[in-house]
Amino acid sequence: MHAQEPVTDRLARLEAVAAIKALKHRYLRACDAKDPVGFRAAFVADGAVLDYGDRIGRFEGADALVGVFEAIALRRVDGRYAVLDMHHALHADIEVVGATEATGRWTLRFRQVDLVAQVERVSAIEYDDGYLVEDGEWRIARSAVTTLWTLEQPLAEGFAVSGSLL
């Protein structure tokens, strides 16, 4: 915060940061809830540049990423989802660079249970995002994802998974 900045500008910056945090949380909640509509709503309508690394890929526009999300997150085997995900974002570092533009960095704690391969993956991931206001709402316009590390281990013999997503 800049103490000499007018209070209205400081308030607008705080409101933008709060709105961007809420956007990121809605996006991650949509990932975990297997909600492609909510997932897509997090991104600008056109022109998003999204680099999710070697495992997921790089995309010009969010629709292609939504297709990959649907193929992975919504895949079913024997009537059950093949993978279950848990995304927890923290360490938000958001910089508002204008009334309609901001950048942000996040640390993601990611956990995935692959019921087909019978493994659990835990990853530390970094997001480097760019945000724009579109139709009065903050949206993700750019995202670069870097996986710092992943631990993969087999599920214990006789494991059981329960919950409302199953």
Q: pLDDT tens digits, residue range 130-156?
A: 999 999 999 999 999 999 999 999 999
pTM assigned to the model:
0.93
Mean pLDDT value across residues 12-18: 97
Cα 37 to Cα 66: distance, rounded to the nearest angstrom: 9
CATH code given to domain 7-154:
3.10.450.50
pLDDT of residue 2: 62
Q: Render 56-87 in DSSP notation, one character per residue.
A: H-EEESHHHHHHHHHHHHT-EETTEESEEEEE
Mean pLDDT value across residues 68-87: 96
Mean pLDDT of the chain: 96
For residue 98 the two structure tokens come to 């204008």
> What pLDDT band is residue 5 in, cutting at 50, 70 and 90?
confident
Q: Render 16-62 in DSSP notation, one character per residue.
A: HHHHHHHHHHHHHHHHHHT-HHHHHHTB-SS--EEE-HHHH-EEESH
